[in-house]
Amino acid sequence: MPARDFFHSVMRIGPVQIGTHRDRNGATKHAAVCSSDGCGWSADYSTQSAAQLAARTHRCRVR
């Protein structure tokens, strides 16, 4: 899992937290990170709306 030293959680949709962080180029990225045990899904998006959409459509892989 990549380090998110500057991750700031700004909202939560279900188990998914959405926050902003900066990539190594200094650009702001919107990250969606699932906090469910055993899921570990996370992804970066360039816009918050894209991250929100991904969070709403995310389905955990529950075994």
Distance CA 20, CA 10 (A): 7
36, 42, 48, 52: residue in contact with Zn ion (rule CB under 5 A):
36
Phi, psi angle pair for 50, to nearest 5°: -65, -40
Nearer to Zn ion, 36 or 48 (CB): 36
Nearer to Zn ion, 27 or 62 (CB): 62
Nearer to Zn ion, 50 or 60 (CB): 60
4, 13, 20, 41: residue in contact with Zn ion (rule CB under 5 A):
41
Cα angle 35, 41, 45 (rounded to 5 degrees) comes to: 105
